Structure 1
């Protein structure tokens, strides 16, 4: 990996209803911190992150656009779908309506984004569920939606199985996360990135023409990190 700061730049969008934790997921990814009460996103917000895919021997820069989840900004956020290579479609596991609405967000993405875009369905806020341990770094087992809520927790309204089945039917990747604890947040982006890189290898994404997938060119755009310094010789 010598000679480049990164090998690819990938454009990601994060979409879904308001208050499902889209901004919190982005902040967790980029800053490794959690904001309990982030300000509502007005239009779009931007963040970037370098991630390493060891088995690919690649460093990838993710350029992530967090889109507003309210109808009043929908015409604005749609313009950011164009050219995206990856999408996090986010819902709140304690809000069934946000899961139902994910269908319309997915339809929007498919109408306005690259047809080859990689989309991962993300069930956020598993830390709020009654019978789940938010400190567990692994993927949680299926949890019943009718589990009684404990004090300070919320009742799960979307089971892992139901979301997983719908994701399979729609050809989506799937993971459950907690922006609060950081559980599976980087994993969500890494899974989508691996899928995009696989599409690049197969020629689905053209790294020279697809706007959401850019190949690093260290000789031309200043991305070299260890290029030799020119020296002058006297006489």
Structure 2
């Protein structure tokens, strides 16, 4: 078992697994606020983008194991199409985020998913996240459309509100739980150096006996 420092003022913590998860999607869909809400339970009304890659960590319990998530946020890079293969390297999970009030951000999710799979294993655990669900009066993407997209592309789906903290914990935790199940089923592990994920032993998320199950109407992650 490895030890590492937690996020913010958290004391040194122990964990059994370290999983790299990336946040992708159009600028302005709320990726940074999803990350800050999950990692620090914070939300900012400021819309200023930060250039560069940011990440935060948080440890959650999955079954009887402690799973540490290292979550990477593009932090504005999507505006400049500057996202490189290094950003995706070592990722075993991803949240593809769109804004439920902006149809174009949902339509662009297919391009983001394609780029993701160009740089990672095709069976990386993916959650399609419709953020800003609190803006019900401005909705432009029906939940049914998101479910259909998720089913067609073999991903999970969930709607969230970083502002109201709705389903944020659930979205990240479900991705981590699904990655853990893949690892458990395939009896694989991962390197635990948070400073250099690519040098660790990678999780093989290739489909072996349907390790990653697509979303369905009765699943936990339908909107």
Q: TM-score, normalised by structure 2?
A: 0.77
* Equivalent residue number for residue 115 of structure 2: 108
Q: Deviations over 1:41-80 (max 9, x none)?
A: 3131111111112xx1111110010014555543434421
**Separation in 2 of the partners of 1:78 and 1:97?**
24
**Structure 1 position 116, deviation (Å):** 3.1
Give yes or no for contact 2:25–2:78 (8 Å, CA) kept in 1.
no
**Structure 1 position 128, deviation (Å):** 1.1
- State yes or no: 1:183 paired with 2:166: yes
Query: 1:33-182, aligned counterparts within 5 Å?
Result: 33-53=42-62, 56-68=63-75, 70-71=77-78, 73-130=80-137, 155-182=138-165
**Separation in 2 of the partners of 1:13 and 1:161?**
25
* Equivalent residue number for residue 7 of structure 1: 16
- State yes or no: 1:19 paired with 2:28: yes
Query: 1:200-219, aligned counterparts within 5 Å?
Result: 200-203=183-186, 206-207=189-190, 210-211=201-202
**Structure 1 position 124, deviation (Å):** 0.1
**Structure 1 position 191, deviation (Å):** 0.8
Aligned length in residues: 186
Give yes or no for contact 1:44–1:77 (8 Å, CA) kept in 2.
no
**Structure 1 position 206, deviation (Å):** 4.5
Change in 2 beyond 3 A, CA 1:203/1:212: closer
Q: Deviations over 1:96-145 (max 9, x none)?
A: 00000111000000001233310100000011112xxxxxxxxxxxxxxx
Task: Give the number of the structure with larger relative contact order, counting CA–CA contacts within 8 Å between residues 6 or more apart.
Answer: 1
* Over 6 Å off, 4+ runs: none
Where structure 1 has 5 or more consecutive residues not aligned to the other structure, the ranges are 131-154, 214-235
Q: What is the RMSD computed on CA atoms of the aligned residues?
A: 2.2
Q: Deviations over 1:149-206 (max 9, x none)?
A: xxxxxx2110001101110110001100000011000100111111101111221854
**Separation in 1 of the partners of 2:146 and 2:97?**
11
1:192 to 166, 175, 178: 175
Paired residue secondary structure (1:179): coil
Choose 1 or 2 for highest CA Rg: 1
Give yes or no for contact 1:118–1:192 (8 Å, CA) kept in 2.
yes
